[in-house]
Amino acid sequence: MRNKKVLVLCTGNSCRSIISEALINAKLDGVIAKSSGVKASGNINSNAKKVLILNGIWDEKYHSKTIDKIIDEDFDLIVTVCDDAKESCPTFAKPVKKIHIGFADPSGKEFDAFVDTYEKIEKVLLPEIKKAF
């Protein structure tokens, strides 16, 4: 895979999509990921940031943003990681492949739920992205 661009969509862009973005950027060579929320919270959940720091893949460039900030960019793949984002995924200017792999929202739960979400995203989502290309 070379120079493939992936957009990860979630509702709030505070947990699952940020973790996914960081994992894709850290673990998939030739793939650049961005994330967004269909109703972005504007904040990254502190436990999501903590799990990324503990795994050595946090980057200060990660931030919660709304879809209008990236809607005009070209992506090779759109990934929705929650049902709400799947149902309200916007239409992009150019046709783009979409896949949906939902993960439970760890917000409001103990830190272990974020570790579990991180591990599930790594084990389930990353192989699916590889298959998509």
Q: What is the mean pLDDT of each run of 10 residues along the chain (133 residues)?
A: 88 93 96 90 93 97 89 90 70 81 94 97 96 92
Please count the structural domains in the chain: 1
Question: Residue 54 sits in which domain range?
Answer: 4-132
- Provide the CATH number for the domain around residue 30: 3.40.50.2300
**SS3 for 7?**
strand
Residues taking part in catalysis: 10, 82, 89
Contact in structure between 17 and 37 (CB atoms under 8 Å): yes
pTM: 0.93
User: Residue 122 has what pLDDT?
Assistant: 97
Distance CA 55, CA 28 (A): 15
The two structure tokens encoding residue 43: 């904040």
